[in-house]
Every structure is written in structure tokens, then in C-alpha cells.
Amino acid sequence: MAWGVPTPHAPRLQIMTEPLLETPFLRKLDRLALMTKRAMAGDIQGERRSPRRGSSVEFADFRPYTSGDDIRQIDWNLYARAERFYLKLFVAEEELSVHLLVDTSASMDWGSPNKLRYAREIAAAFGYVALSNLDRVSVSAFGAGPVPAQLPGVRGKRGAVPLFTFLQKLNAGTGGDSLAKACHLYMQRARTPGPLLLCSDLLDSGWKDALGALASRPFEITVMHILAPQELEPEMDGDYRLVDVEGGEPIEISADLELLRQYKANLAEWRSEVESFCVGRGMTYLPVNTSVPVEEFVLSQMRRRGVLR
């Protein structure tokens, strides 16, 4: 955030906020859509195929006529062949309920580029694509307080402003619910399943319980495992005192080549374990390095992995 400087031509103090996503990037997002593995029933008519039967132009099936049905739906050509009344059914086009979960625990406010900033931008891009396709988007941020910050469902291009404003205001903090508790509570309260994007570094001992809770309902889950380059390729040499920003006792270490080799091996094993856990439960796992520009990650990797098209 930058403060404007009063001048004779600008007598008032102004506050200027850096946009979450640049306009050229938004234009590219306008051409994308969410990929869904299965049809999901929404609440109102939108632009997404639904398992329900409606009155769109795409034929779905026939069913026998019963008293009270709309006779305008009778297929008279089929009647001429079968001498029985059948109704023509069409695929309903309905909105999806898209869920964005953003981890705002203290560990996310770290790294260069910053992990929380990256998570906000990824969530903004994913949410904007959904809004462009008339889907409904809701956001829940957890980890910065006892009560998750929430944005109720917004829909359409007009929903982009409240979505971006909400995400821009998210700050990291301590004292919030654990990742597992937050995910359990969300699954209990979420009314309509749909695509769900989790943006987190998963630096929580209960990450398995958290992901297991998300998998307990028929959501289409994408896990964005966000880590900073300093976590992936630490450059350390000498004696250090490591302090956990989320609590716990400090640790004294002597960093050398062997310690860094073991750290990288453990990190690779952990990320592989997370990926296996996700794949085994039908989730899409995307490892994220915040050194990769958000636009490149969204337009390349998220499309290549079938999250967007």
C-alpha cells in the first residue's frame, strides 16, 4: 500500500492499493473455465452441466409420459414409431458452488516471494475464472484467529470486486484453529459440494486429518501445496537458532552440506507422502514454488494438470 503525497494538484490524502491481479492477466483468465470430473447439482441456472434434467438445448434422455407432464415436451416422432407417449429430457445447465480455502496461519507469512501473497493471488485467479462462468464462489480463511474469516457466495463478474477486496485484506496471524479443525468445521457447514481449492503450506502436524476431512464429502479437491524457494533450496552455512513462528522451543543447528542433504531428502519424502495421500483420495495435488510467477503457474501448470481448461 502506498500513500499519496499532497501537492497543489492533489490536495487530499489518497490511498492506493496494488491490484491483486493485473488487467492483462484477467483478460487471459476470461478465456478459461474450471475442469470438473463429474456433473454437480447447483442451486440456480448457470453455465455448467448438471445431473438434473432441465430445458437446455442438449438432449439427455427419454422417459414415459405420466399424467400432469407438460405435453409440449412429448416427442411426437417417437410416438409415431412406438405408439406411446415419451417426454424428451434435456441436460440442465446450472452453476457450481466453488469453495476457496486459504491458510492464513503464521507460517504462511514467510518467504520471498511471500507464501500468503501467492495464495491470495492463486485463489483470486481460480475464483475469477469461476465467476466468469457464472459459478458461485465462497472463501474461508483460517489460521489467524478463533473465527475463520469468510466471504459468503458471490456470483458473476460483479462478484470479482468483493472477492479481490476480501483476499487483499487477509493477514496472517497466530492463535487460530489448527488446519485439521478448520477443515472439519468447514465440511460440517458447507451446504453444497463443488470444486474446492485449498491453498496451504501444510506445515501442520494434523495435515493428514485435515485432508481426510475434506475427502469425507464429494468435493472435487485441488490441494495447492505452497512453499517458498528458501524452504525448497535453503542456502545456509554455519550455526543457526531456528524459531518456530507458530510456537514451540527454538532449535540450535549447525548447517553443513550433510545437514542440507538430509533436509532436502526429508522434504522430498514428505511432499511425496502428501501427494500419495491426495491421489489415494481422488484429490489433485499441485506442488507450488512461489518463485514461479502466478500467471505462469495458472496458465501453464494448472491447465496441464486439468484444473483449468
- The residue-averaged pLDDT of 230-256 equals 85
Residue at grid coordinates 457447514: 189
Question: Is it the case that residue 286 has pLDDT exceeding 60?
Answer: yes
Residue 44 backbone phi and psi in degrees, to 5:
-135, 170
From-to residues of CATH 3.40.50.410 in the chain: 97-304
Percentage, residues of the chain above pLDDT 90? 59
Please, which pLDDT band fits residue 237 given cuts at 50, 70 and 90? confident
Mean pLDDT of the chain: 84
Range of lowest pLDDT (78-87, 118-127, 227-236): 78-87
pLDDT at 46 (0 to 100) = 45
Tens digit of pLDDT for each residue in 263-275?
999 999 999 999 9
Tens digit of pLDDT for each residue in 172-200?
976 567 899 999 999 999 989 999 999 99
pLDDT at 177 (0 to 100) = 75
Give the pTM: 0.78
The CATH classification number of 97-304 equals 3.40.50.410
